[in-house]
Chain A
Amino acid sequence: MRRLFAPFLMLAWFAQPAPAQQGPVPPFADAESTRARLPDEERVWFESVDVDRALRRSGALYDDKALDAYLQALLERLYPEFKGVVRMRVVREPGLNAFALPNGSLYINMGLVARLENEAQLATVLAHEAAHFVHRHSFQNRENLKGSTGLATVLGVAGGVGGALVGSLAAMSSVYGYSRELEREADRVGFERIVKLGYDWVSGSRVFELLAEEAKILDVSHPVFFASHPQLEERVQSYRELGAAVESKGGETRVEVFLQATVKTRADWPREELARGKPKSVIHVLSDAARRERYPDFRYWLGEAYRVRGEPGDSERAIAELTPLAETSPVHPPALRTLGLLHMKNGNEAGAAGLFRRYLEVAPHAPDAAFVKQYLGQLEQSGTKGEEKK
């Protein structure tokens, strides 16, 4: 029943008079201070707890405990006074996204982690997002959302956020970005934190350039904050201005530590993208010779991405990427299967049959072995008919 009335409750919530809060809301000073919440803020806080629960129950979280621990430790280094309140979790989504809930829960998509180059960049993202929590931006932004434009925006974009978040106002502004002033405040606070920890802010802020470049190519409708080209361009500009006032250049990037902690994420990311039928990002990232070496099995995933995209010339591109994998030792079973499919579609029946036979030899118990046997049977039957005709 609660579910049935949820939309009406939400509308009623919007229709309420503005809270009595006057003037700017001071930021939280530390974990203890988060207990002293304003009455209206309390509701937003508990709504966030519901979002946390929904994300957990729906299986939306990415299962990598070592990564969780690494991210949590980094977040606590950035904001040590909020230890015990800020919590870091990874969402099993391949897209570019990270957001903070008003109760201190921070989420980052596995896809965003997989695109980063070093810990300085990761710290830049987390420091920016946590600043939204510390400065209570969700609560402040709530006033702006009460207007009709805000309502239309929230309802209009709700469908793209994720089942668990649909209709959750607590998550909305963090997912889609705050006002320019609040984003700039998060830039400033986040920037101070990464400089204080000795990170290379130049390398760190390059994250926004990287993401802006990809966002431009993807051109998604209703882009979330980290996939919004204009908002990312603003971050690039904002960090340049902040950097101009800082004398120190250089600092730590902690590339090795980062690459080690996130290797599983980079291995899983292309699979998650392609499972959603989205080969664009995979092709963009793995075609880049400077970046792709960091991705386990990049040649296979690039070949798969070309096959899934299926544009003119993609079959040849896929074959070019995958053929070396079929000729190496030990052989790469999935590459044999994908090559077999490509050759079968191209009419190279003998080539396809040979690849399928080898696949079944090296991976007889593969989950798709029954299909490959079926395709091989069709090819052999077709070959026999061809021989008979001759």
Chain B
Amino acid sequence: MKSLKSWILITVAASFLAGCAVWTRVDNPTLAGPGDAYFVDAPVGWVQLSLYSDGIRVTRDGFQIQLADVTLTPHDKQLPLTKKTSSASMLPTELAELIVAEMRSTPAFANLTVKETTPAQVAGLNGFRLIAQVRNERGVAYSIALYGVALPKGRLVFHFQAIDRFFFQRDLPAFEQMMRSYRTRRAA
């Protein structure tokens, strides 16, 4: 009986997923941002959430385990909660402050603890690298790595979060490699 129920559930889920192709396995590493505004090389074998329209979002084991995303948002587009905007002249510390304030304004990240913020080269410009930690209501610790920079056409943010135990350290290099692969033209 139990296996029949599971089979029905799987069949129903598969028919839904097949129709909208929400998940796409990354076989060709080059992924394009919205409007082909930028390209990154995602880790092969990870899975992309195709429905994510703000940028690129990938995971290896599931979004509750780890997720990495890339967004390039026009400066004049307000952040949803703090209603702040950015500008091309923003210093890296100012942009980091803006992004962290927005994260802390969401209930799930209200208790975000920033561990360190350091200068970093992002898209070839002076940006920031930030490491933070947050716990969910079950006490599971997630670590977060953020890279950001104010580009002339918008704020570029690379975000990676994973369960702190094991997954964060294991997958951080893959995320950082993806961050370093950022470019505005598809590789020849």
**A joins B in a complex:** yes
Instruction: Assess whether A26 is interfacial by the CB under 8 Å rule.
Output: no
Contact A163 B137 (CB under 8 A): yes
Q: Which B68-103 residues have C-beta < 8 A from chain A? A: 82, 84, 89, 91-94, 97-98, 100-102
CB distance from B110 to the nearest CB of A (A): 6
A370 within 8 Å of B (CB atoms): yes
- CB of B91 within 8 A of CB of A162, answer no
Chain B's interface size range is 20 to 34
List of 9 A-B pairs having minimum Cβ-Cβ separation, nearest first: A277-B101, A57-B139, A54-B137, A163-B107, A277-B82, A163-B108, A59-B111, A164-B137, A276-B104
- The 0/1 profile, CB within 8 Å of A marked 1, for residues 108-123 of chain B is 1111010011110000
> A: which residues have CB within 8 A of B?
54-55, 57-60, 92-93, 159-166, 274-278, 308, 341, 344-345, 367-368, 370-371, 374-375
Q: Does B53 have its Cβ within 8 Å of any Cβ on chain A?
A: no
CA distance in complex: A248, B44 (Å):
77
- A349–B107 CA distance with the chains assembled, in angstroms: 39
Given contacts A277-B82, A277-B84, contact A161 B107 (CB under 8 A): yes
Asked if B110 contacts A60 (CB within 8 A), the reply is yes
Verify B111–A276 contact, CB threshold 8 A: no
Q: What's the nearest-Cβ distance from chain A to residue B142, in Å?
A: 11
Q: Is the CB of A162 within 8 A of B110?
A: yes
- Residues in A with CB closer than 8 Å to B102 are 277
| Nearest CB in chain A to that of B94: its residue | A341
Taking a contact as CB atoms under 8 Å apart, the answer to whether B104 and A57 are in contact is no
Query: Nearest CB to that of B108 among chain A residues?
Result: A163
Chain A residue at minimal CB-CB distance from B126: A374
B108 contacts across to A, CB distance below 8 A: 163
Question: In the complex, how many angstroms separate the beta carbon of A167 from the nearest chain B beta carbon?
Answer: 10
Taking CB as reference atom, which chain B residue is nearest A161?
A: B107
Tell me whether A370 and B118 are in contact in the complex, defined as CB-CB below 8 angstroms, given that A162-B107, A276-B101 are known contacts.
Answer: yes
Query: How near does chain B come to A146, taking the closest CB pair, in angstroms?
Result: 25
Q: Which residues of B contact A92 (CB under 8 A)?
A: 110-111
User: How many whole Å from B13's CB to the nearest CB in chain A?
Assistant: 12
How far apart sit A178 and B84, CA to CA, in the bound complex (Å)?
34
Complex: how many Å from CA A275 to CA B104? 7
Contact, CB under 8 Å: B91 / A275: no
Q: Could you list 22 A-B pairs, sorted by A, with CB under 8 Å? A: A55-B137, A57-B136, A57-B138, A58-B137, A58-B139, A59-B111, A160-B107, A161-B107, A163-B107, A163-B109, A164-B107, A166-B107, A276-B101, A276-B105, A277-B82, A277-B84, A277-B102, A277-B104, A308-B97, A341-B94, A371-B92, A374-B92
B135 within 8 A of A: yes
**Which residues of chain A are within 8 angstroms of B94 by Cβ–Cβ distance?**
341
* Seed contacts A59-B111, A93-B110, A374-B126; 17 additional CB < 8 Å A-B pairs: A57-B137, A58-B136, A58-B137, A92-B111, A160-B107, A166-B107, A276-B105, A276-B110, A277-B101, A278-B105, A345-B91, A370-B118, A371-B91, A371-B92, A371-B117, A371-B128, A374-B119
Distance (whole angstroms) from the CB of A323 to the closest CB of chain B:
20
Q: Which of A60, A159, A371 contacts B93, CB < 8 Å?
A: A371
Per the bound structure, the CA–CA distance linking A345 and B93 in Å amounts to 13
> In the complex, are the beta carbons of A163 and B104 less than 8 A apart?
no
B138, closest chain A residue (CB)? A57
Contact partners of B113 in chain A: CB under 8 A: 59
Q: A58 near B101 (CB under 8 angstroms)?
A: no
Contact A375 B91 (CB under 8 A): yes
Least CB separation from A373: chain B residue: B119
Once bound together, how far apart are the Cα atoms of A55 and B139, in whole Å?
Answer: 9
Q: Within 8 Å CB of B97, what residues of A? A: 277, 308
